[in-house]
Amino acid sequence: MEKILICERENCMVPSPDYMIRMLKKGCPDCKVVVLGYQDDRIEEFYRELMDTTALLTGFLKIDKEVMDHAPGLKVISIIATGYDNVDIEEATMRRIGVCPVGEYCTKDVAEHTIALMLALNKNLKVYTYDVEKRYQWNFNNARTPIRIEEQTFGIFGFGKIGRQVAKLAKGLGMKVIAHDPYVSEETAEELEVELMEADDVYANADVISNHMNLSDRNRVYFTSVEFAKMKRSPIFLNLGRGLSVNEKDLADALDQGIVRAAGLDVLTDETPKLQNHIN
């Protein structure tokens, strides 16, 4: 009997895996499905379950050589998220283990979230909410005067599925959209009336900069103090890609110095952060 292990950090698990189990049973009626909430201090439990596992479904666990050493019968790793940077691809290839990232995952939802962050930051909603709820103040002068959305330029790094959907929404708000992606043709961008540029030109011309790149060795710690210094228009900076693309200390410094006027982060370097370390 084939065994399928669904394993994720407990705080990242879906409330109920019933739907996933039904879909797996539909395709493989005789398989055994095991669901395990992962914790670092119970890693041996994870290793024990892996010993007779054929297929592993996970979204954010790091699957490296040590993990694979505990899974001698593993044939496939299915990523229940976008990207596959958490899997050692070379090691999996050497062991003839298939790696299957999901083809479509919340493209429109992430794009909508991107625009929501941009609007909230541009219109100072966090500042005003804090003033009303904590300081009991009603003073529009407590925040920077927002720039009208249709007067701003939206810069996108990573013009894949999500980046293109973000472009459509931003253009619907009347924004000019520019993008940087060395793997996309100018013809593809022109179809959406988006201008492809070199990275430095995006830094210099964008009022909003949003990261949607898949993580790779090429863009790991991509945004540092060097890049932030090139952002001439004191933009809103958004990261909806991977936390490891950004040097968080350099971003904090850029915010303190006014180089970046606001930041909206859907991801952090640590996938399971202690938020009190970030909220100060």
How far is Cα 50 from Cα 34, in angstroms, rounded to an integer? Answer: 10
Low-confidence ranges of the chain (pLDDT < 70): 271-272, 275-280
137-160 residues labelled b (16+ CB within 10 A) or e (exposed): eeeeeebeeeeebeebbbbbbbbb
pLDDT at 135: 86
Determine if residue 136 is left, alpha or beta; phi over 0 gives left, psi from -120 to 50 gives alpha, anything else beta: left
Domains and CATH numbers, the chain: 3-101 (3.40.50.720), 107-277 (3.40.50.720)
Q: Which two structure tokens, joined as six digits, stand for 85?
A: 């940077």
Question: Which own/partner pairs from 101-105 qualify as long-range (CB within 8 Å, at least 24 positions apart)?
Answer: 102/78, 104/161, 105/81
pLDDT at 279: 55
The reply to whether the predicted model has a pTM over 0.85 is no
How far is Cα 247 from Cα 220, in angstroms, rounded to an integer? Answer: 9
pLDDT at 167: 98
What does 235-253 look like in DSSP terms, one character per residue? Answer: -EEEE-S-GGGB-HHHHHH
pLDDT at 155: 98
How far is Cα 140 from Cα 131, in angstroms, rounded to an integer? Answer: 10
How far is Cα 92 from Cα 187, in angstroms, rounded to an integer? Answer: 35
pLDDT at 163: 97
Determine if residue 79 is left, alpha or beta; phi over 0 gives left, psi from -120 to 50 gives alpha, anything else beta: beta
pLDDT at 95: 97
